[in-house]
Structure 1
Amino acid sequence: MNFTWWFAKKIAFGKSNKNNLSTTIIRIGQIAVAIGILVALVTLSTGIGARKGIKQKLADFNGHITVKPYNSNQSFNSDSILIHQSFYPKFDAVPEVTHVQPIAVKGGIIRTADNFSGIFLKGVGEDYDVKRFDSYLVKGKFPKIEQQKISNDVVISQKIANELHLDVDSSFVTYFIQETGKPIYRRFHITGIFSTDIKDFDDIYVIGDIKQVQRLNKWDENVVGGFELFTNDIEKLDEIAAKVNDQIDFQLYAQSATSSFSQINDWIAIFDTNIFVVLFIMMVVVVINMIMVLLILILERTHSIGLLKTLGATNWRIRTIFIYYAVFIMIPGLLVGNILGLGLLLIQKYYKIVKLPAENYYLSVAPVYLDPTQILILNLSAILISSIVLLAPSYLISKITPNQAMKIN
């Protein structure tokens, strides 16, 4: 057995260490470690959870990647593109793309007896990924889109429904302005109400049958406004979009959800900065406390250090003993911090106690993302960084001579 490891464990967990004057300092150090790892876990989990949650909403509602005509205008209204493309219905050239669905968008104005609202009708086909959308439905169901007939059923956002006093099974009239300047009106029936907590979507979108948009634009069934692509890795959308651009016709272009909503994406990037800052501060607090604990332990056991040197132990071996000693003291703090941190996160994950103002955070509930690998890396990093940093204060041991140690005793 390694002597330094055995000796450090002996003095750390031995009975002789129970009633020392250093016990209070050790407890303070352990509490600091527990608080540090708890705050780090909560910050890491909620920060990454928020980033992933917002990205997922942007991508789920608008597609991970959108393919449009290269000369597409800057408005929400769709330009025309033939549905017969080499990448539809399956994008074999880019294996990361798991699903492709055509869409078309047309602007209009909903008019009710006492209010009105500008909206965009987003038309989707029978191959629309309804399961992906179901998580945003707060009431009702998604319209049934069939190939052979045009559906008047739509889903609207909770915000539009509240403003216009509409509900499931209500109907409303929407006016669409044509190129001739003459308006056309259509009556729609509401089958469901959704909420994404993202203002860019909830303020303006109504989702219904793509054939409605085709008929309004006087397109035939082979013309759509664009395509939404979904991938198997939301963290690599820009890379996958570049691959898609390499494979599609030069008259088309692909844009990732992160670049389509660059302002929101820049705001999401703040989470990474916040996570780094909090983790750095917590690590500094833990390290400073462990340095304080180690110095006190060294001063308290000056006699033991002198005795070990008398028996022939080198400075490096004794320093290693005390670093192990400090790490053993950290372990209870790490365990308590992990238990409390994971407990709080699991409670939030399943009971959603902490709410957020959706207008500021794009999320109505504080998100939780638990990755066992990241949790393990966080704990190992705390131990490793503390061990390395403790090398500096342990240098004090080399200044203690056997004669001084015996005199002090």
Structure 2
Amino acid sequence: MSFSWYFSKKIGLGKASKNQLSRTIIRIGQVAVAIGIIVALVTLSTGIGARKEIKQKLADFNGHITIRPYSSNLSYNSDSINLPKEYYPNFPLEEIEHIQAIATKSGIIRTEDAFDGVLFKGVDSNYDTERFDKFLSKGKFPDFKSDQTSDEVVVSQKIANNFYLDIDSTFVMVFVDEHQFNSKPVYRKFKIAGIYTTDISQFDDLYILGDIRQVQKLNQWGDQQVGGFELFAKDIEADFNVLKGSVNDIIGYDLVAESATDIFADIEDWINIFDMNIFVILFLMLIVVIINMVMILLILILERTHAIGILKTLGANNWQVQKIFVNYAVFIMLPGMLAGNIIAIGLLLAQQHWGIIQLPPENYYIDKAPVFLSWGMVFWVNVCSILISAVVLLIPSLLIQRISPTRALKIG
């Protein structure tokens, strides 16, 4: 055991200072450390959790990567793609775990009381309904495996509320061929099999999901023609730009791959702003904790000036004495860190199981504060806190070099 660590442990485990002010300052410092750990863990956990959940929602509803014709314009209506046997229904890229065909057609939903523009998204029997089940609030996802074209659809809760619809309700949609001038509108009657909620307005305000064969008939396509593809990566944290490049290399010049972050750039920008807020909060809390620990160390040094003089007289050099007080200051942090970890993990587990803190989904895209909790994150928060504090505390410990043994013993 080193000389510095031995003495710092003896001081830390020894009788507390008789100075009421220094004891109070130490308690305040420990509380500050505890609050800092709580804020750091809660901020990181909820911040990472929000980013993961929002990205997962985007991907589960719209795919990590979307393939569409290169010639497509900004219209909501899909152009046709012939089903490519070389990568559908099995995409030849290890990072991709699933691919599904889609086609979209804009139309107007009409009831006796109201009408509004919506987007009909056709999907086939290869659609990953397990990913979509998390969004279902009522009913079920239709089965499109039958040979017959299905008239069942899934609508958002917001659309259902706007038109006073519910499970088993029927409604009429009006479609127009945008490529033909003065074309007659086409009417289709649909039945609601399920109602979904994503809390993302870009989806809930617009999308109705149904049989892709409805779009094929409306566009007079063959059964081997679709509007595009949605690809799902195995890892939600994968670099979508790199993955997008790999997909583009496979699909050819006449098609283009876009990532979910490309399509929904505004949501990606919001997530980046949220990440910046997390950094600012952590930085401010670190400054507060460091200031408190520096104040504690200075008080400890001034209070134990006589002891510093004795140690120097006995042959201890400045660096050894500095390490004693830095170790002691870090030793003081430990109770605050322990309390902070227990409280923070308790709060996060409570939020994870009971969803105590609710959020307005129109602002945050989620209805409750999400939690991402890993022991690795807890470990690194604590280790970094100790290391940063120890390094920073070396600066005020330089005061020890200015304490003369003769003067310190005379004062003592």
TM-score range, shorter chain: over 0.9
Tell me how far 1:147 sits from its aligned partner.
4.7
Tell me how far 1:390 sits from its aligned partner.
0.4
Aligned residue for 2:157?
158
Is the alpha carbon distance of 1:84 and 1:147 closer, same or farther for their aligned partners in structure 2, counting shifts above 3 Å? farther
Tell me how far 1:85 sits from its aligned partner.
4.0
Aligned residue for 1:100?
99
Tell me how far 1:243 sits from its aligned partner.
1.1
Aligned residue for 1:231?
233
Quick one: distance in 1 between partners of 2:128 and 2:411?
77
Tell me how far 1:203 sits from its aligned partner.
0.4
Residue by residue over 1:61-109, the C-alpha shift from the partner in whole angstroms, topping out at 9 and shown as x without a partner, is 11110001110121111110011242211122x2111100000001111
Quick one: distance in 2 between partners of 1:246 and 1:329?
58
Aligned residue for 2:38?
38
Quick one: distance in 1 between partners of 2:76 and 2:333?
57
Bigger mean CA offset, 253-262 vs 239-248: 239-248
SS in 1 for 2:142: coil
- Structure 1 residues not aligned, in runs of 5+: none
Letter matched to residue 321 of structure 2:
I
Tell me how far 1:19 sits from its aligned partner.
4.1
Mapping 1:4-403, distance limit 5 Å: 4-14=4-14, 16-17=15-16, 19-21=18-20, 22-92=22-92, 94-178=93-177, 179-180=179-180, 181-235=183-237, 236-403=239-406
Bigger mean CA offset, 118-127 vs 365-374: 365-374
- Residues 294 and 393 in structure 2, CA contact (< 8 A), matched pair in contact too: yes
- Residues 73 and 79 in structure 1, CA contact (< 8 A), matched pair in contact too: no
- Residues 214 and 220 in structure 1, CA contact (< 8 A), matched pair in contact too: yes
SS in 1 for 2:58: helix
SS in 2 for 1:345: helix
Aligned residue for 2:3?
3
Tell me how far 1:301 sits from its aligned partner.
0.9
Tell me how far 1:20 sits from its aligned partner.
3.8
Residue by residue over 1:127-178, the C-alpha shift from the partner in whole angstroms, topping out at 9 and shown as x without a partner, is 1110100111111111111152211111100000000000011111111112
SS in 2 for 1:167: coil
Tell me how far 1:52 sits from its aligned partner.
1.4
Quick one: distance in 1 between partners of 2:48 and 2:107?
37
Residue by residue over 1:23-78, the C-alpha shift from the partner in whole angstroms, topping out at 9 and shown as x without a partner, is 11110000000111111111111111111111111111111100011101211111
- Residues 31 and 333 in structure 1, CA contact (< 8 A), matched pair in contact too: yes
Letter matched to residue 138 of structure 2:
K
Quick one: distance in 2 between partners of 1:7 and 1:82?
78
Q: Does 1:407 align with 2:410?
A: yes
Tell me how far 1:18 sits from its aligned partner.
5.5
User: How many aligned positions are there?
Assistant: 407
Letter matched to residue 161 of structure 1:
A
Tell me how far 1:277 sits from its aligned partner.
0.4
Tell me how far 1:380 sits from its aligned partner.
0.9
Normalising by structure 2, report the TM-score: 0.97
- Residues 3 and 320 in structure 2, CA contact (< 8 A), matched pair in contact too: no
SS in 1 for 2:141: coil
Quick one: distance in 1 between partners of 2:236 and 2:255?
22
SS in 1 for 2:79: coil
Quick one: distance in 2 between partners of 1:372 and 1:59?
26
- Structure 2 residues not aligned, in runs of 5+: none
Normalising by structure 1, report the TM-score: 0.97
Quick one: distance in 1 between partners of 2:408 and 2:347?
47
Quick one: distance in 2 between partners of 1:131 and 1:5?
57
Quick one: distance in 1 between partners of 2:347 and 2:264?
32
Quick one: distance in 1 between partners of 2:6 and 2:194?
67
SS in 1 for 2:321: helix
SS in 1 for 2:150: coil
- Residues 238 and 258 in structure 1, CA contact (< 8 A), matched pair in contact too: no
Tell me how far 1:407 sits from its aligned partner.
1.4
Quick one: distance in 2 between partners of 1:216 and 1:85?
24
Letter matched to residue 209 of structure 1:
D
SS in 2 for 1:363: coil
Quick one: distance in 2 between partners of 1:192 and 1:281?
47
Letter matched to residue 86 of structure 1:
E
Q: CA RMSD in A?
A: 1.1
Letter matched to residue 107 of structure 2:
G
SS in 2 for 1:76: coil
